[in-house]
Structure 1
C-alpha cells in the first residue's frame, strides 16, 4: 500500500505518507509558549503512527498571530517548549515541521494593530489594517528569518511558510488584497516579491539539508483572484527556493466554499504536474482509500488528514491494521489487537 511507503525529501525520511496538517489549537497563553496540552496533542499523534506532524501556525511577531492564544516564536524563550514537542514526536517515530506565519489583516490579536499590503478589511468583524511601509516589510522579512533560525534550534526537521488562507503572504500574492503601486504590487512578479524575499532570508539561516516548503491557497474562489494557473506561475517563480508545496484553497475572502472529501486534490495535481514539485494534498480526507487513490494516480506525494486526526489520533494504526501493514502497533497496545 503506497500510503505506508516511506518518503524522503532532502535529509528527512518519513515512515509513511500520512501527514497531520497544521491546525490552530488556540491553547497558548498570551506569551505564545507551548504547554502541556500541545505536548500531549502532538505526541499522541506520533504514538498513533503519523509520518509527518506539522505544528500549527506559529506567529513570528505578537501582532502576527491569528489570535492571542496562538503559539509564537518571536523570542528565544519560546524555543524550549517547542523542542519538547519535537523530541517527543521523534521519540515515537514521527518527523516534525513547523508552520510559521504572519496573520496580516486577519490578526485578531490585541497586541497591536493589524497590517496588510493594502488598507482593506477582511470583513466588518475585523479591523481595517494599516498599509505596510517598506521599512515595516523589511522588519517582517527579518522576523520570518529569525523564527526560522529558532525553529532549527528547536530541532524541527522541516519548515512550512504559511502563504495561504488569507494571511499576510497570501494577501501580497492576490490582486484582490494587494493594491500597492510600488515594487510589491501590480504585476504578478511584484506581488510575489515579498514571498521570494522571505524565502531568500529564511535560507540564510535554515540548514541546506532540511526541506522548506510553502502552504498555498491555489484558488481565491473569485474570478479576479488567484486560480490554479496563477498559482503555478507563482510557484515556478520561487521554485528554486522550495522543496514541496502544501496545496490548499480559499481563506482570502469570506466566501462560502463547496467542500467535499478531496475537493482540493485537483489543485494539488495541477501544481505537481506543471511545477514538477512534490505536493501535500489536503481537504477533508477522511479515509485511507481516498489517500491511496491520490497516491497511486500520482496526484499527490503526501496526504494530510486534519479533522480525521482530531477525531482519531490513532488513525494511522487503525489503517495499518485494516490493510495488514505490520510494525504500527506500539508494544504497550499490543494486547488490544490479540
Structure 2
C-alpha cells in the first residue's frame, strides 16, 4: 500500500522525498549576535534523521532590529553564513532538503531600542509603540531581504520562505488593522501588498530556487483579512513566481482563536482552490491518518508539522506505521525501527 504523505514532491528542481515538512519554529537559542549555536546543530539534523522530507530553519532576521527576540538567528551579515551552512550540511547528510524563513518582526520585535512598523500602533499595552517607517526605512528593509537571500543562497539552502504571517512586518503591511498609511504602501489592498511585492522581487533578484511565502490567512478580528482575501493575494504572488503558500493564521492583533485539530486546513484549502496554486497546511496536525486525509482530498500539497515534531523527532516513523507503509530507516537505527 502506498500513501501520498510518503510520495516525493518536486518544486522547480528540488525534490522532497516525502511531503512532511518541519515547520519553522523559533528556538530563541542564538547568542545576541544571531549566530548558529550547538543547539541548532542538534535540533535540526535530528528531525532529518527522523525522516522529515524538508527541514525549515526558524524565522531568521534580516536586520538586528527585525529580530523577535535578541536570541533569534540572523542573516544580516556575512558572519552568519558559516553557521547556517553547517546546519545545511548536517541536515542534507541525512537525506532531507533544507529551507530557511527570512523574517522581520516589525512591531512585535522585543529587542532593545527603537522598532519599526507600517504605522505607529503598538500590538498591545505591554508592547512598545513602533516608529512609522519612512520611505528610506522601507527601501533599506527591502534591501535587507535581498541581502539575506544572497547569504542563504551561499549557505546552500534548497528553498527560501518569506515570513508574511503571525503579525510580523510583512503581515502588518498586508492587514488594514495594522496598516493605516496614506502613501503608496497603504490604503487599497493593492497598496498594502506593495511592500511584499517588492520584497519578493528583491529576493528573486538573488534567488531563483523554490520560493514559499507564509501567510496568516485569518485575522480573527472585525475589519481584518480572511482566507478569501488571501486567495486574491496568493494569486498575485503566483503571478510573481512564488511556488507555494504556507498557510497559517492569526497573531496580527490580539484575538481569540478557535483551536481544534486541523483548524487552519480549511484556510489552506480555500487558498489552494482560489489561487490555483500549491499550499502547505499547518496547525494541530498530529497523526499520519489526519495528514493523509488532507493530501488525498486535495486540501493541501505539503504537511507542515510544528509542535508534533518537537514532541517526537521520529514522527514520520509513527505516521508510516499508522498508514501501513514501510519507510527506509536510518542505517544506524535499523535494528530498532523494524
TM-score by length of 1: 0.97
Correspondent of 1:61 among 63, 74, 92: 63
User: Which deviates the most, 60-69 or 320-329?
Assistant: 320-329
SS at structure 1 position matched to 2:101:
strand
Task: Determine if contact 2:106/2:169 at 8 Å carries over to the other structure.
Answer: yes
Alpha-carbon distance in structure 1 between the residues aligned to 2:171 and 2:264:
17
The Cα of 1:223 is off from its aligned counterpart by: 2.2
- Match status 1:30 vs 2:32: yes
Determine the structure 2 residue equivalent to 1:141: 142
RMSD: 1.0
Deviating more after overlay: 61-70 vs 250-259: 250-259
Spell out structure 1 runs of 4+ moving beyond 6 A: none
In the TM superposition, residue 322 of structure 1 has moved relative to its aligned partner by 4.2
- Post-superposition Cα deviations, 1:128-164, rounded to whole Å, max 9, x if no partner, equal 0000000110000000000011010010001000000
- 1:235: how far off? 1.5
Which residue of 102, 105, 113 maps to 1:103? 105
> Cα distance, 1:228 vs. partner?
1.1
User: Structure 2 length normalisation: TM-score?
Assistant: 0.97
Count, aligned residues: 335
Q: Which residue of 2 aligns with 1:164?
A: 165
Superposed counterparts of 1:119-134, under 5 Å: 119-134=120-135
**1:268 and 2:268 aligned:** yes
Corresponding residue of 2:235: 236
Distance 1:84 1:141 in 2: 26
Gap regions ≥5 residues in structure 2: none
- Kindly indicate whether the alpha-carbon contact (under 8 Å) linking 2:317 and 2:327 is maintained by their aligned counterparts in 1: no
**1:249 and 2:246 are equivalent in the alignment:** no
Paired residues of 1:50 and 1:316 also in contact (CA < 8 A) = yes
CA distance in 1, matches of 2:125, 2:249: 22
- Output the CA distance in 1 between the equivalents of 2:291 and 2:337: 24
Could you tell me which runs of 5 or more consecutive residues in structure 1 were left unpaired when the two chains were aligned: none
Which of 85, 106, 109 is the matching residue for 1:83? 85
